[in-house]
Structure 1
Amino acid sequence: MGLIIFMIMKKAKSGITYLVAFVLPVILVAIAWWLNGVYPGSKLSVLASDSFTQTVNFYDAFHDVLHGNQSWFYTWSGSLGVNFLGIYSYYLGGVVTPIVYFFSKSDMANAVYVITLIKIGLAGVTAFWYAKTSFRLQTWQNHLLALCYAMMSFGLAFAEQPMWLDTLYILPIIIIGINRVIDGKGGNILIFGYFLLFITNFYMAYIVGIFSFLYFCVGLYRRGELKQKLTWLAYGWRLVIALGLSAIIIIPTVVTMINTHIPLSKVNGLFTDNTGIWDLIIKNMVGVYDTTKFGTIPFVSVGLLPLIFAISFFFLKKITKKSKIGMAVLLGCLCLGFYFQPFDLAWQGGHFPAMFLFRYSFLFSFLVIQLAGEAWETKPSFKLLSRIIISLGILMIVAYFGSFGHYHYLSVFNLLSTLIILAAYLVLFSLLTTDRQSVQKGIVIILSIMCCVELTGNAYGIFLGTKKEWHYPLNRLYTQNYPAISKIVSKYQKKDVPLRMESMDPVSRNDGFNYNYSSINLFSSMRNRPFMQQMNKLGYRSTGDNLNLIYGNNTVLMDSLLGNQLIIAKGKVNRVGYQTQPDVKPYHVYKNQYAAGLGTVTNDRILKLKLSNTDNLGNQSQLLNDLSQQNQTYFKQQALKLLPSPGARISIQNNQFYGNMPSDQSVQRLTWKVKIPAHQQAYLSLYPLSGTNLGGLMSEVKVDKQGVNLTSRNSMTGQYIDLGNYKKATTITIHTNIWGSKQFRMVMPNVILMNTNRYEKSMTEVQRHAAKLKISGDTITGKVNVNRKNQVLVTSVPYDDGWRLTVNHQAASLKAIGGAFVGVKLHKGQNQVQLKYRPSGWYVGVIISSISLVLLIGEMVIKKRKNN
């Protein structure tokens, strides 16, 4: 009985130590956020940067998946429809994300806050486990190392990208597994770690995969066992099994990435941008934050305490020469990436990041923790530690004064606080040399408190930097419109077809995921890039790597062809065919009487449709003519007259006009006049050319007596600004304000006129030939009757190889209409059509995962029998 009580107490004590490892970083990070005005119920939300536009909205979608309101494979919320498993594989993997189930969608900002803290806490738990199993240290020492790891600067600075934080708690598990394989012990922990890594985030899996292999090689080298074939086989077998188990996610993701056709980045120089000789010294000071945009240097700090011991690793005689060389090489591989473009590119998968640079820098932080643990267990002398502390202080002073302003974000406070903490550690280390146990215990407590103060101060400084650069947005920006938009969606949503609607005043570029309607807008690293490229040819802005597809500033013709049923706006909308519905404050609601259905039957001439790279209005006209079986001209251009504009600083040449302002914030005010004929929908065409700072260029357009007052960012919207619907001939005055770029160059603005009579006639024909299709999750079904040969069902569903088509229960091949939309060739008579979505590679992944699971179970059974 006494033995049982002893075992229970021992396990309880162990559980408490792990609980402390979890709770402590959570509390300290929460305090740092609280000091910056972010906490549950605060005015500010944690949704900085991409958390506002991506993370919280994708959490909303996953919430719907968990509640059975959306398919795990496909979502209709963004870009008219997109592979949701792909979004999951990058943004939503990990053991923590399912917590969103317990939050309401209107409270999802708090879910992001809680999930981020839990991931940081889990990093503390696994780091404590790693320290406990790897080093011969006292519990308090393991706790300090785990705390420093959990609160590394990388995790804090990149907290607005929480999908990368899972890797921080998975990495120690993988390293524990590798150490056990090298030791000849059981390797199931390695399988579990790799499996968790691969299904959580494929991008980080690539980075950690490279690092862990290098770590394995260095581990064998340190022991002089590089030629141990059995160890190599044990490692390779576990890696293969883990990859196989995760194939259910990895295979479809890889296929999606291949189909996305993103070219590899090109090296344009030897050195990485903004590098300096003092980078690693500067970024180890307390509270240093430069930027997470372009021009940053790596976030590597895990606190001064581990840094001191990590440096001592290379000066300790008890540590072998091989160990020092091996770890120096491993550190050097990371540093090569920090300073040289080719290595930086290799670490990040052949693509230079769009902001949030050096995404592998957390590996440097981990190595600092490992080196610190190995050095600390050898009990380095106070003489060595004092020399290191003094040298660090001198280096930091030299870096501050000798960088000549290169590190402009570095303040005197950063330097002084760092020097004070170094001095405090120096004093405490000297006191630890005493033989009096009571004094030592007191010093340990003070040392631990000092470490907590340093880490909290560092977290505060980084969050303050995030607040200044990205801003922690007000909670109400996310929540205030939720009741109104939810009411509108629930009123007009049908059970069998997603509601396609758009907001003229979007909260973010992924609102459809939040409010559960089908939108053209999408901002995601996982997307149907070929489709988005074709949509750009149809007038929707999607350029470069096509990370965005933007609804704003296109024609009503495309609105109707894509089946957009509703527009909501805080201002007035005057578009042909859009009928005013009862307001839901603060929104006006407009219903499109010419919205096409999900599918339209037309002749097979449309199979020859090829979209031009240069004429988006021509593409729109051709698509409508093919669908309506008409031959109409819908658009024409009308020249504008530039009126005298006091203070204008422009020049006009070769149908282009140039602006040259005193500063980026100077406003170029121009006034134009034009006569609009009767029965026209009018658009102002504003198209900036290369050489303009598109990132900052803004345009505001006002039309007298028409209620038009639109502001748009030119890099993020299309070129056609809606001037209204004119049933009678009208002369209008247009006021344009342009700012955000000191110099800009544009095609000479003109007015695009769309003939509303011809448009109405053609759209009526499209609606007359509509097919009745129903959607249930990831499946489209419908009966389509045709009385002629050579007919095609054209849908507004984005073309994707993942769609599986059956016609009359027989497998059939899809057609890509204009390279953009799903098309189906029909037989004369009745056609029972079914489209079911499974990401390409899904079934192969299921088979490989199943085989791998059988092999793993078989291995475990065989081992168990041998042991028995």
Structure 2
Amino acid sequence: MFDFIKKNIWLLLGSFLLPVGLLAVAFAFLGIYWGSDTSILAGDAYHQYVAIHTLYRDILHNSNLGFLYTFTNGLGLNLYAFSAYYMGSFFIPITYFFNVHNMPDALYLITLLKFGTIGLSSFVALKNMYKKIPSLLILALSTSFALMSFLTSQVEIIMWLDVFIWLPLIIWGMHALQDFGKRRLYFITLSILFIQNYYFGFMVAIFLIFYFLARSTFQKWSWRKFFDFALTSALSAFTSLIMLLPMYLDLKANNSQAVSQINALWTQNSDLFDLFSKNFIGAYDTTQYNAVPMIYLGLLPLVLALTFFFLPHVKWRTKLAFGALFTLLIASFYLQFLDLAWQGMHSPNMFLHRYAFLFSLIILLLACETLTRYRQVKLWMLLLPFIFLTFAFIITALLGGYPYIYALHVLLTLLFILAYFLGALTFFKKWLPWRPLLIILSLFMAAEAGLNTYYQLSGIKREWNFASRNYYNTQTEFIQPLIANVHSRTGNTFVRTENIAPDTANDGMKYNYNALSQFSSVRNSNSSKIMKLLGFHADGTYLNLRYPENTLIMDSLLSINYNINQFQPEKYGFKQMKP
């Protein structure tokens, strides 16, 4: 490993800095940077993740708090199970050096670090799996993976990003296990994924089974390798039970409505040209409801992945196996049962098709398989995918009826396809030496990834809006001194505080006070059900529990001794507290 680092030190550095730089520039064009007037907090980042990171920071600084349970959310929250989805990142301890006032900067920093680490882990994995591919192309491919649309279009969901740090390493580990009988890397990385994020771990585990079977067709079938893979995977799952078992018990106890009903054959809003519409550079429709899957990785990897099926020395059974895997993923975007099966039979609350990254992953892997066999590639094998995609994009733009595809997206996509085709033609005609051509292609791929990233972030800004720093600071400067006053008066006495006009439902987490309101995917549904019966506002799945418009009886019963009240008339039994 040390020899690998020494030999590739500059490329390793580039694989980290290139995604960081492109993402930072895209953010900067939208007015988002360290200390900027516009924060990185969009959607759930404002309503959930900044509060969760602040809670983690408070636990690190306060010996009276712990990682097992908290009363800052609902009637009480199992933090151990909660952390299996929200707080498992190795980067979250960075919050120790921040506070509630500058926590948006912490999320900005952690986001950049995670994207950089995704690029780094992708480069390391791809370089070790596909040693014949030139390093510059590996660098470009790792950047494309780090900045694929699935991540950049949902950049505010910060806890998902860690999954993609481990995913390339898991694939590398599986290759090492399958090809050389080496189990350690696969076992360690898969175990970490299960511990850090059980939800995506479930999807990845399903994919790994299909990918192992497809990849087994490269060689003669071996039951020994299959049992080795199955046993190592099972041991990884057993090792992860330290987190998975409490999480399972919590889900079983608190998510009675977790299984969604299949009420149609087809997924909502699916259409014939969806796959092509989301492979335009910059295509962004929505991350709310009726979204088309976010599958964009890059145009050149897509061309190379399609070229794989024309390679003469790849067995037909291998082409059929990977074609079947492609077909399964595509069918999942259209068939409701398969769509739900990937997601644990639970329909997501927005951010749909959460397994769509697997489509981008298989595109990346097949592109690398093609590049490894570049000597087998003939010009016509590349020409066919170029022609097919060009016509498909034109037909989609003219007849597809996708309002989120603008003329600029079409123009950029066709220009980059033309550029890559000219690059392929240059390679076969030897119009340029190999190394300058590699540099040009890599620069084009980086530019393409950067452009798409900017358009994805612009889509988030239009749909969700990045919160202004001034608004965030106004809320913080108003609420935090009041809570400090409450703490000074109550000491260690257990009381609850609630905001009549809350900024978010997770203000208790953010400002470290015992509260009833909550908004999170992991929650105590049983207590929320009781709260709803007692008159508190809660939605059907208890994703939200809200305090406003509650009664004095409940205040007394649940020890709500303090109200933050800016607008409404004074409540009976409450008196104004001097600062």
Shorter-chain TM-score bucket reads over 0.9
Q: Does the CA-based 8 Å contact 2:136-2:439 persist in structure 1?
A: no
Offset, 1:498: 4.3
| Alignment partner of 1:78 out of 70, 73, 78 | 73
Match of 2:449 among 448, 451, 455: 455
Q: Match of 1:473?
A: 467
Contact kept, 8 Å, 1:218 with 1:330, in 2: the verdict is yes
Q: Distance between the aligned counterparts of 1:282 and 1:25, measured in 2? A: 24
Residue 234 of structure 2 aligns with which residue?
240
Whether the aligned pair in 2 keeps the contact of 1:431 and 1:440 (CA below 8 Å) is: no
Structure 2 counterpart of 1:349, from 333, 340, 344: 344
| Residue matched to 1:482 | 476
- Contact 2:538/2:545, CA 8 A, preserved across alignment: yes
Using the TM superposition, give the Cα deviation of residue 499 of structure 1 relative to its aligned residue in structure 2, in angstroms: 4.3
Q: How many residues are matched? A: 572
Residue by residue, what CA displacement relative to the aligned partner does 1:492-541 show, whole Å, maximum 9, x if unpaired? 21332344111223221100111100111000111110110010011101
Q: Once the 2 structures are TM-superposed, how far is the Cα of residue 207 of structure 1 from its aligned partner? A: 0.7
1:317 paired to 2:297: no
Report Cα offsets for 1:706-743 as digits up to 9, x if no partner.
xxxxxxxxxxxxxxxxxxxxxxxxxxxxxxxxxxxxxx
Instruction: Pick from 329, 335, 344 the counterpart of residue 334 of structure 1.
Output: 329
> d(CA) in 2 for partners of 1:232 and 1:378?
26
Q: Equivalent residues in 2 for 1:321-720 (5 A)?
A: 321-379=316-374, 380-403=377-400, 405=401, 407-435=402-430, 439-493=433-487, 494-582=490-578
Give the aligned partner of residue 258 of structure 1. Answer: 252
User: Could you say which residue in structure 2 is the equivalent of 1:149?
Assistant: 145
Q: Aligned residue for 2:94? A: 99
User: Given that residues 195 and 243 in structure 1 are in contact (C-alpha distance below 8 angstroms), is that contact kept between their aligned partners in structure 2?
Assistant: yes
In structure 2, the residue matched to 1:307 is 302
CA contact (8 A) 1:509 1:523 kept: yes
Distance 1:313 1:229 in 2: 27
Deviation at residue 304 of structure 1 after TM alignment = 0.6
Equivalent residue of 1:501, what SS? strand
Determine the structure 2 residue equivalent to 1:121: 116
Of 153, 157, 160, which residue of structure 2 is paired with 1:161?
157
Corresponding residue for 1:137?
A: 133
- The alpha carbon displacement at 1:554 in A equals 1.2
1:433 alignment partner, SS class: helix
Letter matched to residue 208 of structure 2: S
Q: TM-score, normalising length from structure 1? A: 0.64
Q: Which of 190, 194, 207 in structure 1 is aligned with 2:190?
A: 194
Task: Write the letter of the residue equivalent to 1:454.
Answer: E
Equivalent position of 1:718 in the other structure? none
CA drift of 1:389 comes to 1.7
Letter of the structure 2 residue corresponding to residue 410 of structure 1: I
Return the TM-score normalized by structure 2: 0.95
Corresponding residue SS for 1:502: strand
**1:508 partner letter:** T
Give the partner amino acid of 1:259: A
Could you tell me how far apart the structure 2 residues matched to 1:156 and 1:205 are? 20
Structure 1: any 5+ residue segments left out of the alignment? 1-6, 585-868
Indicate the residue corresponding to 1:633 in structure 2: none
State the 1:387 CA deviation: 3.2
Relative to structure 1, is the Cα distance of residues 273 and 572 closer, same or farther in structure 2, using a 3 angstrom cutoff?
Answer: closer
C-alpha distance in structure 2 between counterparts of 1:207 and 1:262, whole Å: 21
CA contact (8 A) 1:94 1:199 kept: no
| 2:306 aligned partner, one-letter code | I
Q: How far has the Cα of 1:194 moved from its partner?
A: 1.1
Aligned amino acid, residue 144 of structure 2: C
**SS of 1:481 mapped into structure 2:** helix
Partner of 2:41, secondary structure, is coil
Change (3 A) 1:137 1:401: same
- CA drift of 1:300 comes to 0.4
Q: Provide the secondary structure at the position in 1 that maps to 2:564.
A: strand
1:436 deviates by: 6.8
**8 Å contact 1:492–1:499 — kept in the other structure?**
no
Quote how far apart the aligned CAs of 1:434 are. Answer: 4.8
Instruction: Provide the C-alpha distance between the structure 2 equivalents of 1:289 and 1:173, rounded to a whole number of angstroms.
Output: 29
Structure 2 gap ranges (5+): none
Q: Amino acid of the residue matched to residue 146 of structure 2?
A: A
Q: Is the 8 A contact 1:184 1:231 kept in 2?
A: no
Give 1 or 2: higher strand fraction.
1
Code of the aligned partner of 1:109: P
Per the TM alignment, residue 577 of structure 1 is displaced from its structure 2 partner at its CA by: 0.9
Q: AA paired with 2:493?
A: V
* Contact 2:535 2:550 survives alignment (8 Å): yes
The question of whether the paired residues in 2 share the 8 Å contact of 1:478 and 1:507 is answered with no
Q: Distance in 2 between matches of 1:497 and 1:208?
A: 45
CA RMSD of aligned residues (A): 1.7
Aligned-pair CA distance for 1:220:
2.2
Task: Kindly indicate whether the alpha-carbon contact (under 8 Å) linking 1:76 and 1:498 is maintained by their aligned counterparts in 2.
Answer: no
Question: Does the CA contact (< 8 Å) of 1:291 and 1:469 recur in 2?
Answer: yes
- SS across alignment from 1:580: coil
Mark the structure with the bigger radius of gyration.
Answer: 1
Whether contact under 8 Å (1:532, 1:542) holds in the other structure is yes
Displacement after TM superposition at 1:477 (Å): 2.4
Q: 2:57 aligns with which of 60, 63, 75?
A: 63
Q: Alpha-carbon deviation of 1:456?
A: 0.9
Could you tell me which residue of structure 2 aligns to residue 862 of structure 1? none
Residue identity opposite 1:291 in structure 2: T
Q: Which of 205, 211, 215 is the matching residue for 2:211?
A: 215
User: Could you tell me how far 1:572 is from its partner in structure 2?
Assistant: 4.8
Query: CA 1:471/1:490 → structure 2, altered by over 3 Å: closer, same or farther?
Result: same
Matched, 1:28 2:22: yes
Contact 1:338 1:344 in 2 (8 A): yes
Alpha-carbon shift at residue 391 of structure 1 (Å): 2.4
Give SS of 2:282's match: coil
Task: Check 1:10–1:540 CA distance in 2 against 1; reply closer, same or farther (3 A cut).
Answer: closer
On the 8 A contact 1:156/1:459 being kept in 2, the answer is: yes
Between the aligned partners of 1:352 and 1:9, the Cα distance in structure 2 is 47
The answer on 1:293 being equivalent to 2:304 is no
Tell me the equivalent position of 1:14: 8
In the alignment, is the contact (CA less than 8 A) between 2:166 and 2:193 conserved in 1? yes
Residue 435 of structure 1 and its aligned partner are, at CA, apart by 4.2
Greater Cα shift, 571-580 or 439-448: 439-448
Q: What fraction of aligned residue pairs are identical, expressed as a percent? A: 32
Instruction: Return closer, same or farther for 1:498/1:35 CA change in 2, 3 Å cut-off.
Output: farther
| Mapped partners of 1:572, 1:75: distance in 2 | 29
**Which residue number in structure 2 is paired with residue 180 of structure 1?**
176
Asked if the contact 1:434/1:440 (under 8 Å) is kept, the reply is: no
Change (3 A) 1:344 1:8: closer
Deviations 1:784-839 (A, max 9, x none): xxxxxxxxxxxxxxxxxxxxxxxxxxxxxxxxxxxxxxxxxxxxxxxxxxxxxxxx
Output the CA distance in 1 between the equivalents of 2:273 and 2:204. Answer: 26
Amino acid in the other structure paired with 1:138: P
Paired with 2:563 and 2:92, the residues of 1 have a C-alpha distance of: 32
| Residue aligned with 1:47, SS | strand
Higher relative contact order (CA 8 A, sep 6+): 2
Cα deviation code 1:469-490 (max 9, x no counterpart): 1111112222223233222222
Query: CA shift at 1:132, angstroms?
Result: 1.0
Q: Which moved more, 1:364-373 or 1:566-575?
A: 566-575
d(CA) in 2 for partners of 1:418, 1:72: 48
